[in-house]
């Protein structure tokens, strides 16, 4: 039997309680589905040691760390020095996730924006990509990313992109990447798929955001990295490509942005 084409789950949360006691099986299923690499994301810096340990235990798992915008008001403010020190670890490949989320936590706008700018400076200093979470904050995200990019360039992925076509264009104009999650595979996400279809395919990544947002046929259940394959299959349709070609393209895109996340470097 032919092995599935290799893809990358560029954003998952393997430290979450949903996977407790099951990680070996979860990783094995991902490998069987052709998910050759995964980036597990730390959303609270006090939890960084346990996220780092997961990456150290599995050669195909890398990690990133930052303060999630929804936690920005409740967690100690990250510092640039703290983030750049973490970036020295060989498996640490990105800064974040950070960003702005005004859906549930609009009252902490000012703190979120301060935290975001700190993470941007860390991305600038380390050369590692920024991982952005944006929800109900398109105008402020576009403004801050544009201002900061003018002050000094940095790489960036708009993780789990499900915002407006206008924000997508701002991100693409800045040289950033858009990541497709299971949301893009939902039947009612036609407008979102159209936004992706209008983007250059060499700026597209795929992800799960596991344990959240499982794509069909697993929608409504726990997501896991193996299911990246379902989103990638939809992505291939969106761009009029066969699955293997889309897998190669998105993996090459990931390599370009997350240049530190090589299996050779993990060996």
Which tens digits make up the pLDDT trace of 107-132? 999 999 999 999 999 999 999 999 99
**Residue 97 known to bind ligand:** yes
- pLDDT attached to residue 266: 59
CA atoms within 13 Å, Cβ hemisphere of 173? 11
Contact 61, 55 (CB under 8 A): yes
**Residue 133 known to bind ligand:** yes
Which tens digits make up the pLDDT trace of 84-105? 999 999 999 999 999 999 999 9
26, two tokens:
């979860």
Question: In this model, does residue 265 exceed pLDDT 60?
Answer: no
- pLDDT attached to residue 3: 76
Question: In this model, does residue 267 exceed pLDDT 50?
Answer: no
- pLDDT band at 137; cut points 50, 70, 90: very high
Name 122's Cβ contacts closer than 8 Å, sequence gap at least 6.
78, 80, 83, 84, 87, 95, 128
Q: 179 - beta bridge partners?
A: 205
- pLDDT band at 80; cut points 50, 70, 90: very high
Q: Domains of the chain (ranges plus CATH)? A: 7-266 (3.20.20.140)
- pLDDT attached to residue 74: 96
- pLDDT attached to residue 262: 87
Which tens digits make up the pLDDT trace of 165-195? 999 999 999 999 999 999 999 999 999 999 9
Which tens digits make up the pLDDT trace of 41-50? 999 999 999 9
Mean pLDDT, the chain, whole residue set: 96
Q: How many CB atoms lie within 10 A of CB 32?
A: 12
Which tens digits make up the pLDDT trace of 224-258? 999 999 999 999 999 999 999 999 999 999 999 99
User: Rounded to an integer, what distance in angstroms lies between the CA atom of residue 208 and that of residue 180?
Assistant: 8
């Amino acid at each position: 039997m032919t092995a599935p084409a290799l893809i990358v789950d560029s954003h998952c949360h393997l430290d979450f309680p949903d996977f407790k006691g099951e990680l070996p099986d979860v990783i094995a299923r991902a490998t069987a589905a052709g998910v050759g690499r995964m980036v597990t994301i730390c959303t609270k810096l006090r939890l960084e040691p346990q996220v780092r340990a997961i990456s150290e235990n599995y050669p195909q798992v890398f990690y990133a760390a930052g303060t999630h915008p929804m936690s920005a008001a409740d967690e100690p403010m990250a510092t640039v020095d703290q983030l750049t020190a973490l970036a020295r670890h060989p498996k640490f490949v990105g800064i974040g996730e950070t960003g702005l989320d005004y859906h549930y936590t609009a009252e902490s706008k000012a703190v979120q924006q301060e935290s975001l700018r700190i993470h941007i400076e860390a991305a600038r200093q380390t050369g590692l990509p920024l991982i952005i979470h944006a929800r109900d904050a398109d105008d402020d995200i576009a403004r801050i990313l544009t201002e900061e990019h003018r002050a000094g360039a940095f790489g960036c992925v708009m993780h789990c992109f499900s915002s407006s076509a206008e924000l997508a264009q701002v991100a693409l104009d800045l040289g950033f990447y858009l990541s497709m999650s299971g949301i893009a595979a939902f039947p009612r996400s036609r407008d979102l798929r159209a936004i992706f279809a209008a983007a250059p395919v060499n700026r597209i990544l795929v992800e799960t955001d596991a344990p959240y947002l499982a794509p069909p046929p697993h929608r409504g259940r726990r997501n896991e990295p193996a299911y990246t394959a379902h989103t990638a299959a939809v992505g291939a349709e969106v761009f009029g490509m066969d699955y293997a070609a889309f897998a190669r393209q998105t993996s090459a895109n990931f390599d370009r942005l997350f240049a530190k996340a090589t299996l050779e470097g993990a060996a």
